[in-house]
């Protein structure tokens, strides 16, 4: 490729992409633009991207589907951070002759965030912090983790790490997923339980599943109704795993004690969204993967992928939506 190419790096919310990797290898070959906002409207997104040869995506922040991809005839390469992106129509991109590749990903950030949510609820962090700001002292009673029951929907890479920390706290750990076996649960240090039993027995329910059509709304009103009134739900996986309307109703009605949420149906979360006004919802803005180590790997390997594509060398090609 003898001519310079144009590269768009999207959704760099914090303005950190340039310092998280060395972009110098592209300096003589490409003009790289970094965008810090998010464009959800397809026509506006097409206007922004129509002159670019390469688009670099940060996870699933920007949807690239049949409303966008066919309108970008210059686009030849998409790099997405990590090797899975449900917001990208990979099959359509391939049919249009667009190469799609991904990067590796650090696996520790999301399990750590799970424990921020569990501990914040267990020790009434939001209430105690608000009390201090109002001049009060000790406004609530914390909940002990030692002896409490942790229920994990999913015992994969995230669930296993969460389970090990729960064991260190002295918690009873239960596990269930559509394909989990008692033997696999035992190997992860958990007791296998039915889905119904897990929701009925757990003091903290953590969702650690992948979103597929078979798992969409796997947590709905029946599951929430089965939970103890003092129990908490934590979801740092995907919003579609939970029936959002049912969860809002459960929180408003006090049927469960609270929820810790890092993922939402619409992101960024609208200002007027009901979750923002619920006092028993602890919210973080989809930051499970937003860490220094993760971003450095994401952007370093993004640069490597673009350089390899320019050199016609092997790259980490995505073949379909996993």
Could you read off the pLDDT of 220-279 as tens digits, one per residue?
A: 999 999 999 999 999 999 999 999 999 999 999 999 999 999 999 999 999 999 999 999
- 89/131 same-domain check: no
Catalytic residue among 117, 124, 238, 301: 238
Domains identified in the chain, total number: 2
Spatial distance between the Cα atoms of 27 and 99, rounded to a whole number of angstroms: 22
- 188/266 same-domain check: yes
Question: Do the domain assignments include residue 118?
Answer: yes
- 270/161 same-domain check: yes
Spatial distance between the Cα atoms of 147 and 55, rounded to a whole number of angstroms: 49
Catalytic residue among 60, 286, 301, 304: 286
Provide the pLDDT for residue 321.
Answer: 44
Provide the pLDDT for residue 86.
Answer: 92
Question: Do the domain assignments include residue 234?
Answer: yes
Spatial distance between the Cα atoms of 261 and 114, rounded to a whole number of angstroms: 9
**pLDDT for residue 133 is more than 70:** yes
Q: Give the total residue count for the chain.
A: 322
- 11/157 same-domain check: no
Q: What percent of the chain has pLDDT over 70?
A: 98
Question: Do the domain assignments include residue 279?
Answer: yes
pLDDT in tens, 168-181: 999 999 999 999 99
Cα end-to-end span (Å), the chain:
31
Question: E strands along 35-187, which residues?
Answer: 54-57, 77-80, 99-102, 149-153, 172-176
**Is-contact 159 184, C-beta < 8 A?**
no
pLDDT in tens, 5-37: 999 999 999 999 999 999 999 999 999 999 999
**pLDDT for residue 125 is more than 50:** yes
Question: Do the domain assignments include residue 167?
Answer: yes
Residue 321: which of 49, 78, 124, 11 has the closest Cα? 78
Told to judge if 128 belongs to the known catalytic residues of this protein, a careful annotator would answer: no
- 44/137 same-domain check: no
- 157/93 same-domain check: no
Question: Do the domain assignments include residue 316?
Answer: no
Residue 294: which of 64, 102, 107 has the closest Cα? 107
- The CATH number assigned to the domain holding 64 equals 3.40.50.720
- 102/113 same-domain check: no
Provide the pLDDT for residue 319.
Answer: 65
Question: Do the domain assignments include residue 18?
Answer: yes
DSSP 9: E
- 159/273 same-domain check: yes
- 99/118 same-domain check: no
- 64/134 same-domain check: no
Told to judge if 223 belongs to the known catalytic residues of this protein, a careful annotator would answer: no
Question: Do the domain assignments include residue 317?
Answer: no
Question: Do the domain assignments include residue 319?
Answer: no
Provide the pLDDT for residue 47.
Answer: 98
Catalytic residue among 267, 296, 300, 316: 267
- 178/258 same-domain check: yes
- 124/34 same-domain check: no
Told to judge if 146 belongs to the known catalytic residues of this protein, a careful annotator would answer: no
Angle of the 109-122 helix axis to the 157-168 helix axis, nearest 10? 40
Spatial distance between the Cα atoms of 182 and 140, rounded to a whole number of angstroms: 38
Domain of residue 163, residue span: 109-283
């Amino acid at each position: 490729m003898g001519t310079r190419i144009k590269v768009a790096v999207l959704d760099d919310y914090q303005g950190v992409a340039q310092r998280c990797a060395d972009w110098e290898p592209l300096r003589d070959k490409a003009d790289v633009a970094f965008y810090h906002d998010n464009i959800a409207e397809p026509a506006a997104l097409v206007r922004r991207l129509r002159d670019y040869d390469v688009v670099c995506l940060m996870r699933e922040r920007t949807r690239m589907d049949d409303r966008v991809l066919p309108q970008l005839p210059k686009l030849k390469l998409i790099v997405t951070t990590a090797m899975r992106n449900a917001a990208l129509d990979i099959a359509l991109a391939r049919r249009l002759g667009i190469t799609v590749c991904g990067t590796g990903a650090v696996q520790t950030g999301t399990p750590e965030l799970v424990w921020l949510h569990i501990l914040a609820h267990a020790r009434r962090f939001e209430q105690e912090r608000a009390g201090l700001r109002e001049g009060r002292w000790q406004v609530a009673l914390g909940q002990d983790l030692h002896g409490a029951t942790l229920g994990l929907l999913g015992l994969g890479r995230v669930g296993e790490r969460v389970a090990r920390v729960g064991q260190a706290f002295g918690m009873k750990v239960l596990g269930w997923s559509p394909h989990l076996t008692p033997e696999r649960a035992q190997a992860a240090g958990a007791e296998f339980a039915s889905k119904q039993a897990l929701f009925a027995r757990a003091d903290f329910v953590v969702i650690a599943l992948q979103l597929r059509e078979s798992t969409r709304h796997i947590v709905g009103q029946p599951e929430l109704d089965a939970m103890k009134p003092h129990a908490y739900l934590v979801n740092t996986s995907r919003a579609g795993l939970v029936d959002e309307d049912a969860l809002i109703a459960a929180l408003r009605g006090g049927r469960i004690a609270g929820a810790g949420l890092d993922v939402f149906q619409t992101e960024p979360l609208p200002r007027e969204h009901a979750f923002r006004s619920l006092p028993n919802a602890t919210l973080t803005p989809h930051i499970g993967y937003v860490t220094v180590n993760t971003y450095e790997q994401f952007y370093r390997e993004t640069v490597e992928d673009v350089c390899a594509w320019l050199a016609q060398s092997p790259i980490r090609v995505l073949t379909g939506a996993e």
